[in-house]
A and B are shown apart, each in its own frame.
Chain A
């Protein structure tokens, strides 16, 4: 009973992370650092809540969330791919933009800055996002590892010059990858506002975009391990929720803070090479310019 609960909670909590980590995967395997996942999730969460509020259908909301994530990704791609801006700086700017843009739009649509009107239970998702997330993990595994498009994607991140010599436009591949990334992050945001809660509230992603990025690194930039890492981090969260306030027989209670740092701590361990090796795509973060 308790284990069932824990399992269900883990699946729920990790769903937005899985979407966002997959989003990060497409972008980073193509060689574009994506620390803007957080911002893309945030606009996705907002657009999904607003779309569902007006259409009374969570699928319309999810589509709106995806579209808004892609729009923000398009701005990001324009700067970092076409204009070759620094990816970390531009990504940070996108996050700040999303943080300011969402309350502004919320004010314009609903006359309040803090949250969208609450969506009734009947218009929310119940389990669809969990299923969708794991189908997407499978699809991403096939696409990235088993298709020509996946090969282009990986080459755009590993050796863009080789891809270019083969006659494939590197920046086109990267553009598509970043747009997919934005769409997936937007869906992650949608699962946050339409599945895990009932409205958008200001800065509701609360760092989940960065946790997803940590999961991606922990999963060594591969779809299935990254998704499993999300599940692991989700499990930490779910366990932490249940361990809170429990006092041990000898007195003293469980240190909540310790569990909250675990995802980051494990990621650092992985990056430092303690748990196997995690190597980023070779051309990650480097803008491509045709020689």
Chain B
């Protein structure tokens, strides 16, 4: 009898200990907010779109004290597994960067309704998913206007990465911006490819840009991920101009990059983490455009000589016209 009582007491003690351990863990989990950032194939050093997302998440890590884990997916089939493994562990917010993660986020978010998700550049309809969308066409419109003003030949070029609606949206805005300045401007549109390889094929992007420069283009806008650097090389060789995309790429080839169309993925990621951490996370679409500085164009010490005061004044004028609703920039997403 005594022995049984003894056993029982020991059992309670053990259970009590477990409870204590469990409680400490929970307390710890509450104290730190865990964020997973899933980058696409460009990787965190693409000096473009992923770099920007990574920067925003790191800023959150420093300022908000969150725990940050990031992964670079090796191929498009890996997203689902990565997302699920983070959700299954004690991560609070999973951020997928890039349109290629759409299906994976959609699927995993349904399976983990009490976890938060965010996706950049794509729309996912679920209460626990925030879709971070950018008004790329507005920025492309402005750099298109800049390109048309900087080109004396009245010919400008565009090199897109993969031929997808998102990149078509850039192209359409760019063309419209150029036509606003010079209705007779010729715009040469090219795409590197039709598969994911297109983001990483600088040699081909360079050939495309070279053929555009030969065709008379004086400014080429590159929206092609890591392939952008092929376009910049072509600009350097032919002593012509290029326009960068997503992050500020002016510094990568000083003197040859007229400006960069900025897409503040960093701001979007930071804002999402901040709101999720303070319990104000909301699903649905959050869009970033000229109005909230989510989209813009870069002016810094590397290109201030290339962007003349007249060009800058005219672009600012166009920008305020767009904000005032006097100019409606055509949006490829709405033409379909």
Contacts and interface: CB of A to CB of B under 8 A. Distances in A.
A241 B45 contact: no
A203 B197 contact: yes
B252 A118 contact: yes
Nearest to B226: A201
Given A197-B233, A256-B191, A113 B45 contact: yes
A244 B191 contact: yes
B175 to A, nearest CB: 11
Contacts, number: 90
B211 interface: yes
A246 to B, nearest CB: 9
B197 A9 contact: no
Given A199-B229, A201-B226, A206 B194 contact: no
Interface stretch (B199-207, B285-293, B324-332): B199-207
Interface of B: 41-47, 72, 74, 163, 188-191, 193-194, 197, 200-204, 206-208, 210-211, 214, 226, 229-230, 233, 236-237, 252-253
B313 to A, nearest CB: 32
Contact of B202 (A16, A204, A256, A257): A204
B229 A238 contact: no
A203 B229 CA distance: 15
B44 A113 contact: yes
Contacts of B43: 103, 113-114, 202
A114 B42 contact: yes
Contacts of B197: 203, 206-207
Interface string A250-275: 00000011001000000000000000
B200 A201 contact: yes
B160 to A, nearest CB: 10
Interface string A164-203: 0000000000000000000000000000100011110111
A256 B211 CA distance: 16
A244 B191 CA distance: 8
A203 B43 CA distance: 12
Nearest to A1: B214
B191 A197 contact: no
Contacts of B208: 241, 244
Interface residues of A, number: 33
B203 A197 contact: yes
Interface in A218-263: 237-238, 241-242, 244-245, 256-257, 260
A12 interface: yes
Contact of A204 (B44, B47, B200): B200
29 contacts: A5-B214, A99-B74, A112-B45, A113-B72, A114-B42, A114-B45, A196-B203, A197-B202, A198-B233, A199-B202, A199-B229, A201-B229, A202-B200, A202-B226, A203-B197, A204-B203, A206-B197, A206-B200, A206-B201, A206-B204, A237-B207, A238-B207, A241-B204, A241-B207, A244-B190, A244-B191, A245-B188, A245-B190, A256-B194
B285 to A, nearest CB: 29
A13 B203 CA distance: 8
Contacts of A241: 190, 204, 207-208, 211
A153 to B, nearest CB: 31
Contact of A242 (B194, B200, B211, B237): B211
A95 interface: no
Nearest to B233: A198
Contacts of A242: 211
Contact of A260 (B189, B194, B207): B194
B45 A196 contact: no
A256 B208 CA distance: 13
Contacts of B193: 260
A286 B204 CA distance: 37
